[in-house]
Structure 1
C-alpha cells in the first residue's frame, strides 16, 4: 500500500494529498464498520447505544488548587481557560491534545504556579470554549493565531509554551512563525510536523499507525464511532493512568458538549484542506530553546519521529520517559522535574 501511495504522489506537490487521504479514509471506514458490528453483536445494544447525559461538569474541575476559571474573547471566539499563580509572574501557557482538555495539565499547574502565571486553555472546539463549525475553522493558521491572541489578551508579550499531542504541533508552528512571543517551548509527545510527514512517507509502520488521520477525513462515521458505548476511547487512552471515575468524566464531559466531537475531529480535517497545503510543504524551523519529553511507550508514533530533528530544532534537548502517550499525567513527577531543570538552565 505504501508503494502505491508514493507512486501516486501522496503528500506531494503534484497531486493534492487530500483526495488520497479521503480514499484511504473510506477503506478504514469499512474496517471500522465491521468493528462496530462486532461490538454490537458481542456487547449488545444496551452497551452500543449507551450515552450518559452530562449537563454540568464534574466537581473535580472546581478544585481551587488547580486555579480559577475564566474566558478570553479573541478572534470572534470565546476561549475557556483555567489560571493559577500571580499575574505578576511570567506566563506559562499550556496547550492540550486530542481528545483532552485543560484538565490534562492539573499536575503541572500545581507544580509551576509558584513561579509562573500558569494558564491552561480549552482550545477551540474543546470543553467550554466555542466550537465553530467547518474544517476551515481549524486550519493551522487559525489555531496558531488563537495562541498569539491569547498571549496578548492575557496581558503578556511572550510566554513559556507547553504543548502535548496536537498542542505540540501548534506550539512548534507558533515558535516558527512568531518566535518573539515564545521564550522557551516544552513539547510532550508531540511530533514535529515536518519530521512527522517525512517519517509518514517512508516508514510503513508509522503509515499504518496513522490510520485514524485518514479515517477522520470522512464525514459522520468518525463522530458516531467515537460516541458508541459512551466514549470508550478514553479507556484505552488512559489505561496506564490512575484516574478516578470522576476524572474520566472530565474528558467525556468535554467531548459530549453539543458539536464537540465534530469540532475536535476537524483539527485533522483542517490539516489536509487545500488552504493548508502550503503549510504542509514548508519546513517548520524552530530556533527557540526547546525541551522534548517523550514517553517511549507511545503507541501512535514510532521513535523515528524523535530523531533527525537538528535541521528543524536548532536548540533542542531530548528526554525520554518510561511512559505512554499521556506522559505528563502518567509520570507527572518525572515530567515536572525535567521541565524544572530545563527552565532553570
Structure 2
C-alpha cells in the first residue's frame, strides 16, 4: 500500500470517528435542551459596520472564472498592499489594517472565491490553492499592477505562501499571520502528535454536510466562541453579527469548507513533488499569536528553513486571530518591517 492510499485510509477513518462524535454530541444537546440545534435566524440587512465608509470602497471585478468582491482604501498611486483573509472569515477581518495602511499604501482586502460577496463556484476542485493563486494574479492585472505587498492570515496565509513560492515576481514583501509554510506544516503534522490532534477539524471537514451543520448550531454560536480569547471578546457584538450575517446565507459554509476538502492529499499532486523547491525569496515577516489553539509554536519558528529573508514576531497572549485582538501591535510590526524594506 503506497503512501497516498495510507493517508486516504487514515483520513477516512478519522473523518468517520469525528462524525460519530458529532452525532452523539448533537443528539445529547437536542435531548438536553429540547431545542432545534441547527436553526439559523434569517438576517436580511447587514450591520452598519460593514458599510462604514472609513474602511474604503466596495468594488467587484470579473476574472476568468469568478467575480471577486474587494474593499479598497487609499490612493491608487501608492504601492499596493493585498490582504487575504482566512477561515471562516471575509474582507472585514482586515478592518484595522484598511484604516491604518491607507496612509501610505493602496490597500485592497479581498473576499476569496466562495466567501462574502465574491462568487461561489460549485464543486470541491474549484477551491484548490492553484485556483486561488490565479485569482490573485488576475486581480493584480485588473488593478494595473505587476506586484505588491501580499498579506495573509490563516488560509489566506497559506495562499500567500504558495503565491510567493510559485510566482515570486509578484510578491514584493510577504507578511504572514498564524499560517505555517505548507511544507513545514506537512512535516510537522506527520512528526508532531500535538499538532496532529490540534488538526482534528481537517479530518472532520472531509465529511459531506456534517461540518456545515456543526457551524450552524445554535444560530452560528461558533463565532461567539471563536472571537473569544482568555474569556474576553475580541470583537464587538456588531462585528460578530457581521460574520453571522454573511454566514447565515444559504450554503455559505460549503465553499469555505471546500478549501479543506480540496487540500487533502488525493486531490493534489504528490506532496513531495508539490512542495519541492517551495522556497520563499521575498522578504518575509511572520507575526504569530502565541496562544493559537490550532497551531503549535514550532510552526512559527520552522518557517525560517524555507525563506531567504525571515523575520519572526511572536505576540504573547495573542490568539489565532492575532490581527484582531492585538491590532495595534501587529500594525506596529508591519510598519517596522515595511519601512526597513524600503531602505
TM-score normalised to the size of structure 2? 0.93
RMSD, matched Cα? 1.6
1:50-129 counterparts in 2 under 5 A?
Answer: 50-129=39-118
Query: Which residue number in structure 2 is paired with residue 166 of structure 1?
Result: 155
Query: Which residue number in structure 1 is paired with residue 248 of structure 2?
Result: 256
Cα distance in structure 1, aligned partners of 2:38 and 2:270? 41
String of CA shifts for 1:260-315, please: whole Å, max 9, x gaps: 21101000000016342335642421111000000000000111111233331121
Is 1:34 the counterpart of 2:29? The answer is: no
Query: Which residue number in structure 2 is paired with residue 289 of structure 1?
Result: 283
Query: Which residue number in structure 1 is paired with residue 127 of structure 2?
Result: 138
User: Does the aligned pair in 2 maintain the 1:68–1:82 contact within 8 Å?
Assistant: yes
Query: Which residue number in structure 1 is paired with residue 269 of structure 2?
Result: 277
Query: Which residue number in structure 1 is paired with residue 259 of structure 2?
Result: 267
1:191 shift after superposition: 1.1
| Higher deviation after alignment, 80-89 or 147-156 | 147-156
String of CA shifts for 1:144-168, please: whole Å, max 9, x gaps: 1111111111121101000000000
Cα distance in structure 1, aligned partners of 2:263 and 2:143? 27
2:35 to 28, 45, 63: 45
String of CA shifts for 1:220-272, please: whole Å, max 9, x gaps: 11111111211121122100343222211111122222322110100000001
Q: Which runs of 5+ in 2 are unaligned?
A: none
Residue correspondences, number = 334
Cα distance in structure 1, aligned partners of 2:157 and 2:115? 16
1:317 to 304, 311, 315: 311
Q: For 1:41, what is the secondary structure of its paired residue?
A: helix
User: Does the aligned pair in 2 maintain the 1:139–1:267 contact within 8 Å?
Assistant: yes
User: Does the aligned pair in 2 maintain the 1:176–1:287 contact within 8 Å?
Assistant: yes
Q: Which runs of 5+ in 1 are unaligned?
A: 1-7
User: Does the aligned pair in 1 maintain the 2:182–2:275 contact within 8 Å?
Assistant: no
Is 1:242 the counterpart of 2:237? The answer is: no
Q: For 2:243, what is the secondary structure of its paired residue?
A: helix
Moved over 6 A (4+): none
Is 1:344 the counterpart of 2:336? The answer is: no
1:154 to 120, 135, 143: 143
User: Does the aligned pair in 1 maintain the 2:7–2:265 contact within 8 Å?
Assistant: no
Cα distance in structure 1, aligned partners of 2:303 and 2:234? 33
Q: For 2:218, what is the secondary structure of its paired residue?
A: coil
Query: Which residue number in structure 2 is paired with residue 5 of structure 1?
Result: none
Cα distance in structure 2, aligned partners of 1:209 and 1:203? 10
